[in-house]
Every structure is written in C-alpha cells, then in structure tokens.
Structure 1
Amino acid sequence: MAAVPPSSLPHSAVALIVLTLAFAALVCESKLSVDYYAKSCPRFNDIMQQTITNKQITSSTTAAGTLRLFFHDCFLDGCDGSVLLSSTPFNSAERDAEINLSLPGDAFDVIVRAKTALELECPNTVSCADILAVATRDLLIMLGGPHYTVYLGRKDSRISKSSLAESDLPRPTLPMSRIIDMFAKRGFTIQEMVALSGAHTVGLSHCKEFSFNLKNDTQYNPRFAQALQQACAGYPQNPTLSVFNDIMTPSKFDNLYFQNLPKGLGVLESDHGLYSDPRTIPFVELYAKDQNKFFQDFAIAMQKLSFYGIKTGRGGEIRRRCDAVN
C-alpha cells in the first residue's frame, strides 16, 4: 500500500501526527511510561480510583481544588510535587506563599489519603508527583471532563521555596501580555494557554482576588457585578469568602466558561482579559462554539503540562510522606 503524502492529509491529521511524534519523543526522553507501576505496584490504579472516588463523594470541591493544585505545582519548576512540601524552621515552602494560601485543603487531603494507602500496599514505590498527576486526571473525568493519558515515573522534588511561587505563578490581576509571556516561557502557545484557562469552568475564586475591581472594570455585566458585590460584602472580615468561577454549571466541566465571557460573566480580571485581547479572543470564541474542540485541546495541553519540568532518576526521590523530604 502506497504511503499517503503529507500534503494530501487534512491539516487536523497532520497536526495529530506531529503531536503524536512529539509526545513519543518526550516520553522516550523522560523515561516515563503508562504501565510504570504494573509490576512494582499492581493495584496502583485501583487504589487511586477508590481513594479519589470516596473523597469526591464526601467533598464535592475536591476535583476543582486538585486541578488547581496540580497547575500550581507544575507551573512552578515542573510537576514534581514540590507544592505538597510543608515549611520547616529553615525554609518557607511553596504552599505558604501568599498566592498559594488559598489552595484548598481537600486537594492536599486526597493526595495524603492516596499516598497513605499506596505506602501500605507498596512502600517507597509511588511518587507524590505521580499521585497528583493521576488524581487530577481522574477527578477531572468525574466532573465530565476529557480523558487523557498520564505517563508515570516522575520523582519528587527535594526543594520547595515560597519566594519562587510569589514571582513565577500567574496572578489574575496581571495584564494578559504578561500572562502570555509566562506561558510562552514554559513552551506553551497562546491557544494552549486559553485552553488551560478553561479550567475556570469549575471551582471557586476568593473575593479578595477581584472585589477591588468590581466598580472599575466595565467588562462586568452590571447585574453580575452587583451580585458579586453583595456576595463578597463581608470579605474584609472573612477572607475565605468565594464565588463560583462559572455561575451556570459550577460543578460540571464544560465550555460554559467561554460562553460566559462575552456576556460579561467572567469573575477575574484575567477572565476579562481573554475576551479583550485580540490574540486570545479567537480561541475564546472557538471554544465557546465547540465544546469537543475545547476538550480536545485542553486534554492535549494538560498532557503537555504533566511533562513540564519533571524529575527522573537521581533528579528526585520517592518521598515516604508527601509533605516532607526523606
């Protein structure tokens, strides 16, 4: 059978082939594999599934919180579980940086539960970084999100510094140009950045992150801005006050977040930035119209993110506890 010349293939097929080859090269180079624990911890998948299912049923905010925890871990020097480390008298860890203080306890708890169960089953075998990567994917699916393959074999970092989190994690108040630059520095395109921003279709934002701007940002729907002001009226006295990122389907992973933005129903300044910057508007409109395309691109971007800055071999360790180095 004659080979089909690339010029005769549709653009989508060519793109898929390029992505497949790129991922294959990345997997080979990183020494990760889908069945990394097949022999060393055969019940890995069963234990993970049971743990996250029980936790999500008990606390429905776990999935969105874990997705955010994963992003904060990976975006800062790679997917290495560094965000899970606790501070010591000699070091202030990432999780104690001001930007990370709002990371939800349920997300940390589900990782601790999975790690505890896996240590009983197969001690000193499964990394906290791998646990976080798989938990994020599986919890995302429980919310109706897309499936993507998680390759395993990451090692855990021995270093975690709050100072890095303050300077290197994107804040919702940053200009869109700055956010685009931060993603580009890590090898992500503008379209991948917009796709990943779709994670705001679930979860919460704390009032302190946007309340100061409600009267000044003309991109808010006026009635929505008024409702946010009422919901956040007590936030100076109660900094834990928060609102849903997507008021339409807050617990379902879908494309409603993108549909909300043209209507002025974005919560954060960065949400509005996506629909005011000419570089990002086309992708917002694309994902608002086509949920399947959003899911496809989000899954690809999440898989790419899961490879970012990983540690393998002697570059890391398998922590016995996720909150402390060995």
Structure 2
Amino acid sequence: MACAKLYFLLLLNFVGLFVNVYANNLSPNFYSKTCPQALSIVKKGLDEAIKNEARVGASLLRVHFHDCFVDGCDGSILLDNSATIQSEKQAAPNNNSARGFEVVDSIKAKLEKACPGIVSCADILAIIARDAVVHYGGPTWEVRLGRRDSLIANRAGANKTIPAPSFNLTNLTSNFAAQHLSFKDMVVLSGAHTVGFARCTNFRSHIYNDTNIDTNFAKSLQQKCPKTGGNNNLLQPLDLQTRFIFDNKYYQNLLVHKGLLHSDQQLFNGNKADNLVQKYASDQCKFFEDFAKSIVKMGNISPLTGTNGEIRLNCRKPN
C-alpha cells in the first residue's frame, strides 16, 4: 500500500473527533446490536451497483455532499415531490444531475427486510460515500452513525447553499464556512472531483470565457460542448486522467490548468489555495488523510438524532 501510515494516522485523528461526534449521539457502533449486518448489506449493494454502472458510486458520493449542505445530513435530498413536499431533486444544482437514487432504494429495501425500521436513509448515504471512495481506491474511515431522517425537504435551501461550478474562491470559502467547514476542508473535499463526470452546462463558461485554462484543453472540450445546446449531455470526466480511480490526479490537473470546472481551477489561480493544491498534488497520502478527516466532519453537520425526525421506511417519502 502506498500510504503505509495512513490508517494509523486516521485512527489518531478520529480520537480527536470523538467528543464532537458523540456530542451529537453518532457512533460507529450504532447498529452493532440492532442491525449488525447493516454495513455489509450497504457495501454489497453498492458494489453490485458499481459493477453495473461504474460511475454511480461517484454520483452517490455527490448526493451525500448535497444532502449535508442543506439543513445537515438528514436524507432530505432523497424525498420525492408530493402534495406537501417540494423535492430538492428539482433544485438547480440537482435537477437532471443528482442521480443514483434507485441504488439507495434497493439497499434500503434489503435493510428493511433484514432489520425493519432500524437504519436511516441519511446513514445509508454516509456509508455509501465511504464505500464508494474505498471502491475507487481511496482512503477508508469509520462512519459515525445514528442520523435520523428529515420529514421535509428544502428546495430553496438547496438552491442557496449547494456550491455552484461558477463560484470563485471567495464564494467557495464563504459557502463552506457557512457549514462550519474550514478553508482546508473546502480544498480537500473538492478533491472528490477525482471521480465523476460533469455536464456541458457546468463547464461551458470556463472553456469559452476563462483565461486560466490550458488552451489546447479548452479547444478539445469545445469540440464536445457547443456554445449553445446540449446542456444536459454528460460529456467529460471531472478528472481527465483517471476517471474511476480516487487519487490525487485532480490536483495535478489543476497545476497545468486543466481543471474542468471554473470552481475547480479557482483552487489554483495565484491565490492562498495554491499551496494546498501543490501539497496534495505531490502527496497522495496527505490528501487521503485530510480527505478522510474532512468528510467525517462534513457528515457531522447538524444530524437529526434522538427523537428528532424519523427512520423512513421508504427513502422517497415520510412514513
């Protein structure tokens, strides 16, 4: 293994997170008695899904991110439209973009059969995020569990709080700070873009209007993404080198001005993020270590616990 000390370091770092995590009643052993097979059921379901479609793990990692940025990690992004709910799935950052919900449905159905009414949809997303990163060759971490599910969605919140591909560094910094995530958290969590794809509409402005992009790279993308039309076409991997491997190539791309999104390349643009990008580009072990710490921190944003919320029986609707 390239990062021989990684998991020991992660263990030490998680000790430091103990007080904060348990203050919110989250625990890696939350289902050890009530549903001891929960983690293996989720992993098996995700592995099968990725075998059928390689990119779905990256899509679900993004779903966890978009869930946590809207009123905390409460599974609200999974709710469908109803007479009383305006689904976050139709918010601008998610519409025709957030995907993989049928995988969550399948895993939830298996969990309900094994241990009815026990495992929350919010926790399923948190477990999937870890398992997806590991599946693609990235770091592992202990997932803190015990989140409960929201009864409502917040489409307006999704439109407001999920970071946009058009954001500059100031926008990104304030956006993450609003979630009590640091500047370093922002830079390292952006590294999740080492897997996954983007639609033409999300990088069109960058390839036609920006100057901090490699000219040949921009021209090659212009052949696939016209100035008008094709907004929802899935055209380009976020990491042009290793689209299905979780590694530090994302940062290496930024160093040569081949970040796909405007918001990506903002992290290496003659500003205070440059040093972190250079560090992660040259040290994959450090990227893995810091990513694991930051995603645990993100997963701890405002969870519903105790008697708040509920354990949904169907992730798409309240009980």
TM-score (norm 2): 0.93
2:89 equivalent among 91, 95, 99: 95
Residue identity over aligned pairs, in percent, reads 38
Work out whether residues 232 and 241 of structure 1, in 8 Å CA contact, stay in contact via their aligned partners in 2. Answer: no
Structure having the higher helix fraction is 1
Structure 1: give runs of 5+ residues left out of the alignment: 1-14
Q: Is the 8 A contact 1:140 1:253 kept in 2?
A: yes
| Equivalent runs, 1:118-267 vs 2, <5 Å | 118-233=111-226, 236-237=229-230, 239-267=232-260
Name 2:39's counterpart in structure 1: 45
Q: Indicate whether 1:23 and 2:36 are aligned.
A: no
Alignment-mate amino acid for residue 265 of structure 2: H
1:75 paired to 2:69: yes
Q: CA deviation at 1:19?
A: 4.8
CA displacement, residues 76-123 of structure 1 (integer Å, 9 cap, x when unaligned): 111110000011133312111121113343x21221111000001111
Q: CA deviation at 1:148?
A: 0.7
Secondary structure of the residue aligned to 1:274 is coil
> How many Å apart are 1:16 and its aligned residue?
8.1
- Name the SS for the 1:71 alignment partner: helix
AA aligned to 1:170 is: P
- What is the count of residue pairs matched by the alignment? 311
Alpha carbons of structure 1 residues 17 and 201: separation in structure 2 relative to 1, 3 Å: closer
Q: Which has the larger radius of gyration?
A: 1
Does the 8 Å CA contact 1:69/1:103 hold for their aligned counterparts? no
Paired with 1:268 and 1:196, the residues of 2 have a C-alpha distance of: 15
Aligned partners of 1:212 and 1:101: how far apart in 2? 19
Q: 2: CA distance between counterparts of 1:189 and 1:61?
A: 28
Contact 1:47 1:118 in 2 (8 A): yes
Matches of 1:247 and 1:60, distance apart in 2? 16
Residues 91 and 286 of structure 1, relative CA distance in 2, 3 Å threshold: same
Rounded Cα–Cα distance in structure 2 between residues aligned with 1:305 and 1:37: 21
**Structure 2: runs of 5 or more not aligned:** 1-8
How much does 1:238 deviate? 5.6
Q: Would you say 1:297 and 2:290 are equivalent positions?
A: yes
Q: Deviations over 1:142-187 (max 9, x none)?
A: 0001001101111001120211111111101122101101111222
- CA drift of 1:194 comes to 0.3
Distance 2:11 2:34 in 1: 32
TM-score (norm 1): 0.91
Equivalent of residue 32 in structure 1, options 26, 33, 38? 26
8 Å CA contact 2:77, 2:89 repeated in 1:
yes
* Segment of structure 1 superposing worse, 36-45 or 295-304: 36-45
Q: State the 1:17 CA deviation.
A: 9.9
Q: Which moved more, 1:19-28 or 1:307-316?
A: 19-28
RMSD between superposed Cα atoms in Å? 1.8
